[in-house]
Amino acid sequence: MLDIESLTRQYGSEAAVDGLSAQLARGELTVLIGRSGAGKTTLLRCLDGLEQPDEGRITVDDAPLAATDAALVFQSGALVDGKSAVGNVLDGALGRKPAWRELIGWHSPDEKRVAIERLHDVGLAGYADRPVEALSGGQQQRVGIARALQQQPDVLLADEPVASLDPETGRSVLAVLAHAVSEHDLFGLVSLHQPGLASDVADHYLGMAGGQLVLDRPAAQIDSDDIEGVYAHE
Ligand SMILES: Nc1ncnc2c1ncn2[C@@H]1O[C@H](COP(=O)(O)OP(=O)(O)OP(=O)(O)O)[C@@H](O)[C@H]1O
């Protein structure tokens, strides 16, 4: 289990995440919903180690979660134009390598083989050498997922990864995320503004309002009133 215990992150006098406790199960995709400003991004950034909580803790099987255990897929993919798909995937793991390797961008043949496998995982086997700017938005998001997987995370996070995609493409990208989570037995947490897009692949839903948890339920027990209830909170 991944345990989030009484997590608080303050910005000045405002708590963006306010004493939130929740659990994620391994191999499951949890969808995080809530109105704009509810605290979803802040929670994801605390899990990714980009923000330090003011209070509370995050543990996996009782051990503190390290920043290197989590990988975050950004809304826009955050890819480097001019680089190939496989080059972008390889860069995903660079922060974990010695500084000299980061400087010259050196990758071992084994890392390159794994990066090609990650592209295969996300349905982009034939696109390794394609510059990322010559890929569609959905394909770019798949590269972003492969890039996160290259970091060999235990926790796969995604912050509104399908916000800029049409519904059908968004669904297919979420299916790729869900597949990666179950295939690699990860803890998966994805924030979404259109929860309906995840209805086929979500295992669990968390809802936030005003930094607090207002919904925590398995997908099998969710109905539209539950979802609307989250957005009804001020
Ligand atoms: N770096 C920051 N400095 C000050 N306040 C911040 C900062 N980041 C977020 N906040 C505030 O914290 C609250 C939660 O923001 P957050 O981005 O986590 O919400 P969100 O649910 O992800 O919203 P959205 O769906 O619009 O992305 C908001 O009131 C926001 O203004």
pLDDT digits (tens, 9 = 90+) for 3-17: 999 999 999 999 999
- For residues 83 and 129, give the distance between their C-alpha atoms in angstroms, rounded to a whole number: 9
CATH number of 2-232: 3.40.50.300
> Taking the CB of residue 212, how many other CB atoms lie within 10 A of it?
17
Q: How far is CA 119 from CA 28, 84, 134, in A?
A: 21, 12, 16
Residue 96: what pLDDT? 57
Closest protein CA for atom 8 of ligand 1: 42
66: which DSSP letter? P
Distance 233 CA to ligand 1 centre (A): 16
- For residues 32 and 51, give the distance between their C-alpha atoms in angstroms, rounded to a whole number: 18
* Cβ of residue 49 lying under 6 Å from some atom of ligand 1: no
pLDDT digits (tens, 9 = 90+) for 126-147: 999 999 999 999 999 999 999 9
- For residues 96 and 151, give the distance between their C-alpha atoms in angstroms, rounded to a whole number: 8
Closest protein CA for atom 28 of ligand 1: 37
Q: Is the pLDDT of residue 105 over 80?
A: no
Cβ(69)–Cβ(155) below 8 Å: yes
This prediction has a pTM of 0.92
Closest protein CA for atom 16 of ligand 1: 39
Closest protein CA for atom 4 of ligand 1: 11
For the chain, what are the domain ranges? 2-232
pLDDT digits (tens, 9 = 90+) for 172-193: 999 999 999 999 999 999 999 9
Q: Is the pLDDT of residue 37 over 70?
A: yes
pLDDT digits (tens, 9 = 90+) for 72-94: 998 776 788 889 999 999 987 66
Residue 74: what pLDDT? 81
Distance 125 CA to ligand 1 centre (A): 37
- For residues 147 and 86, give the distance between their C-alpha atoms in angstroms, rounded to a whole number: 9
Under 8 Å CB-to-CB from 11, ≥6 apart: which residues? none
Residue 233: what pLDDT? 84
